Amino acid sequence: MGLYIGANYHPHDWSRERWRTDIELMKQAGFTTVRLGHLCWDSYEPDDGVYTFEWFDEVMDLFAEAGIGVLLDVSMRPAPVWVHKLCPGCNIHDKSGILQPSIRRYMEDMADPSYQYYAMRFAEVMVKRYRSHPALFAFGLCNEIGSGKKSYSEQSRQRFIQWLKQKYGTIEKLNAAWATQRWCRKLNSFDEVVFPENGIAVGAPEPWLDMRRFFADKTGGFLVKLKETVETFGPGIPHASNHYAELDDLGFDYLNLYDKFVDYPGMGFYPGYQVTERYHFMGSTYVQRLAETDKPMWCLEFQSGGQGLHHGPYGTLRLQAMLCLLNRVQMILGWTWRSMLAGEEQYLCGIVGHDGLPTVNYKEYQEIASYMKKLEPYAFPYLPVPDTAVAYSFDNECVVQYGSTRHYHHSGRENRVEIQKVFYDLNRDFNVINLKNRKHDYKLLILPEYVLMSEEEADEIRRFVAEGGTVIMTAYSATVDEHSQVFDCPRPGRLADVFGIRVAGFDRTTAEWRDFADDARLVEDAKGKRELLKVAAADAADNSADSFYIDVEYYEDLELHMAKEYAAFPDKGLCAVSENTYGKGKAYYVAAETNADLLKWLIGRISDSIGLKKGLEVPEGIQAREIADGQRFYVNTTNKIVEIPLEETGRGVISEMKYGKVLKLKPYDAELVIREEV
């Protein structure tokens, strides 16, 4: 399949005389691919129906001559000024309904039909013009769709009303779903519907969830429409998108839509320079994008420098690139080629400097390119078949976001990061899935703080366990139904029989309302003072390896009905983990918010019994995968030399050295060790 390395380039920012210089520098860096076309619709269409593609034809020809493939972004955001003038319905209005001028990018309401007409017209023209160009490698579906602002305009309200009519049919069903009997909010007609947010207040959780769904549907629907346009006029040409489905302000339901628009999963990769940031970024965004596509990731944007930060410690860009290869990446395109002289990102440092000369970032990208060229003939892109799935839900994220100050103190992002830590530390792969549309079979399904539990999702979990699967669910889960109303039945709602328990109550480890016992183990940091919870396996002696402490804020009181106690909070006299046999499978309930230490312990204990593939055992700070038989890839995430024991002698593909029983890996470096044939 090949590996691709390159940069994002903005020829409209630079003189014609500069183009050849930049392309030559890219060739010297070993770049194979470049992304063009984004963020500059009005450079191609400066006025309604007036096209000026000739300058860009020359750019495309130069890249074809250089043998560098072009990923061409079909750019329709930000919209040109002339589009905003012709399409008043696409203009953003704030929560008070006041028009907000489009002074920054992504200030257009993509649901506006007039805006969509001009956007798709431009997409058709661009795709037709370049679909047969020899430089064309693939198309990009616009830029960062999902970022932007919700518009509270009257036009948007009318679209919301129509969306609700289609969803509920009658005002009586809408009133029931929104619990409008509470605090005198009953509606007599759909015309009385307003957005449950304004300049001074946020409304009830039920209509707020539907509002988020509405904006998500319109945003994601635009991306699907763009994909259909591109495929209609450029059939058979690969495409990807660096969307932002996960953003709290807008976003969209990616896992519900990805199989309607994704060819290759794509993203912009900006993890920062700390190892802990990689937990955050890969946990909150990266793995979700892979979903169950069975294809490698395309990083359409990849960190070069930062805002006001020229570069991190030398080797960290290479480290990030190698970690990405280990985690199913095929394409790395640096953002950005040249540090920009003007605009909001003028101090976001690029691969070459403001003066156009190579920087330390250029040197490191050149090194990344040389590594990728050496690795390409082997089992890359790495495409594992994970035996573990983690369920994710856009609706769930919205419920947690709304209730974050009231009940769900553990954010969706923190929850996902804890899951990432588990598999990062275990050197294992997993898929993030949509329970309503599971495509593959798995041995283990994890439901981390799966707060909203619809009937359809509950049925899928019940079927999975009954047929022999193992499920782990953590606290907070199955609290509300699909309308964000709390269940009036025993929790976990709709699944109490599968887990064989009742969640009888909950408590918190924080100091706000409690006096701590004299012998309590406490911790205090920026989050405040709290008690650490002791966990002990039900079959383990005190102070054994199966007795440890976890740092959580929320935990629950479980009543065991059919289930048995697998682990306890011995200092509290409560069950920490329950185990229940249901059908042919097992259901484990963890009575604490998602915690990496507790989950690593639990997964480690049950792995052999359910046949999970174990990760490679390596020293701390090393990430490793066996990407194919006899091919083991190692990445050193530390700033120190690490000695890695090898099970057999081998040859290093990157270093071109032979290794005996030990591989000494330099800081932030990587190596592919292949078995020596006898």
Lowest mean pLDDT among 207-211, 214-218, 281-285: 281-285
Tell me which amino acid residue 210 is: D
- Using alpha carbons only, give the angle 369, 649, 364 rounded to the nearest 5 degrees: 15
How do the domains of the chain map onto residue ranges? Answer: 388-610, 622-675
Comparing CA positions, the residue from 614, 593, 592 lying closest to residue 603 is: 614
CB count within 10 Å of CB 267 equals 26
Distance in angstroms (rounded) separating the CA atoms of residues 244 and 270: 12
> Which CA distances in Å does 586 have to 185, 226, 463, 499, 592?
44, 43, 12, 8, 19
pLDDT computed for residue 678 by the predictor: 46
pLDDT tens across 15-52, in order?
Answer: 999 999 999 999 999 999 999 999 999 999 999 999 99
Q: What mean pLDDT comes out for the span 395-413?
A: 93
More confident residue, 280 or 358: 358
> Which CA distances in Å does 358 have to 19, 228, 424, 594?
15, 40, 34, 45
Distance in angstroms (rounded) separating the CA atoms of residues 138 and 72: 6
> Which CA distances in Å does 75 have to 40, 119, 142, 677?
7, 9, 5, 50
Distance in angstroms (rounded) separating the CA atoms of residues 678 and 660: 14
pLDDT computed for residue 282 by the predictor: 65
pLDDT computed for residue 517 by the predictor: 84
pLDDT tens across 533-591, in order?
Answer: 999 999 876 557 789 999 999 999 999 999 999 999 999 999 999 999 999 999 999 99
Residue found by looking up tokens 């000026």 in the block? 52
pLDDT tens across 314-370, in order?
Answer: 999 999 999 999 999 999 999 999 999 999 999 999 999 999 999 999 999 999 999
Comparing CA positions, the residue from 372, 418, 417 lying closest to residue 633 is: 372
Check the CA dihedral 596-598-603-604 and report its sign: positive
pLDDT computed for residue 219 by the predictor: 97
Average pLDDT, the chain: 95
Instruction: Calculate helix-pair angle for 171-178, 154-168, nearest 10 degrees.
Output: 100
With contact defined as beta carbons under 8 Å apart, do 102 and 169 qualify?
Answer: no
Q: What superfamily would CATH give domain 388-610?
A: Class I glutamine amidotransferase (GATase) domain (3.40.50.880)
Beta bridge partners of 168: none
Residue 276 has pLDDT above 60, yes or no: no
Distance in angstroms (rounded) separating the CA atoms of residues 463 and 500: 15
Instruction: Calculate helix-pair angle for 205-233, 113-130, nearest 10 degrees.
Output: 30
pLDDT computed for residue 279 by the predictor: 62
Three-state DSSP class for 577?
Answer: strand
Distance in angstroms (rounded) separating the CA atoms of residues 524 and 465: 40
Distance in angstroms (rounded) separating the CA atoms of residues 66 and 394: 43
**In angstroms, how far is CA 79 from the centroid of its own chain?**
26
- Looking at residue 192, what DSSP letter applies? G
363-367 contacts: CB < 8 A, separation 24 or more? 364/311, 364/314, 364/315, 364/317, 364/318, 365/5, 365/7, 365/29, 365/31, 365/304, 365/317, 365/334, 366/28, 366/29, 366/30, 367/318
Confidence of residue 280 (pLDDT cuts 50, 70, 90): low
Distance in angstroms (rounded) separating the CA atoms of residues 462 and 459: 5
Confidence of residue 1 (pLDDT cuts 50, 70, 90): confident
Distance in angstroms (rounded) separating the CA atoms of residues 254 and 285: 11
Check the CA dihedral 8-9-12-13 and report its sign: positive
pLDDT computed for residue 614 by the predictor: 94
DSSP letters for 622-660: EEEEEEETTEEEEEE-SSS-EEEE-SS-EEETTT--EES
pLDDT computed for residue 281 by the predictor: 60
Distance in angstroms (rounded) separating the CA atoms of residues 406 and 187: 26
Q: Look at strands 564-569 and 533-537 and give their pairing.
A: antiparallel
Residue 386 has pLDDT above 90, yes or no: yes
Distance in angstroms (rounded) separating the CA atoms of residues 264 and 294: 9
Tell me which amino acid residue 559 is: E
CB count within 10 Å of CB 107 equals 19
Q: In what order do the strands lie in the sheet with 239-240?
A: 239-240, 136-140, 69-73, 33-36, 4-8, 329-335, 297-303, 266-269
How would you class 525 by CB atoms within 10 Å of its CB: exposed for 0-12, middle for 13-18, buried for 19 or more?
exposed
Comparing CA positions, the residue from 162, 71, 134, 144 lying closest to residue 106 is: 144
- 398-419: buried (b, 16+ CB within 10 Å) or exposed (e) per residue? bbbbbbeeeebbbbbbbbbbbb
CATH topology of domain 622-675: Immunoglobulin-like (2.60.40)
Q: What mean pLDDT comes out for the span 179-208?
A: 97
Distance in angstroms (rounded) separating the CA atoms of residues 397 and 288: 13
Beta bridge partners of 264: 240
pLDDT computed for residue 342 by the predictor: 95
With contact defined as beta carbons under 8 Å apart, do 334 and 1 qualify?
Answer: no
pLDDT tens across 610-619, in order?
Answer: 999 999 999 9
With contact defined as beta carbons under 8 Å apart, do 195 and 90 qualify?
Answer: no
Backbone angles phi, psi at 12, to 5 degrees: -70, -15
For the record, the structure tokens of 602 come out as: 């639990």
DSSP letters for 315-356: THHHHHHHHHHHTTEEEEEEE-SB--SSSTTTTB--SB-TTS
CATH topology match: 388-610 vs 622-675: no
Confidence of residue 278 (pLDDT cuts 50, 70, 90): low
For the record, the structure tokens of 139 come out as: 């198309």
pLDDT computed for residue 516 by the predictor: 85
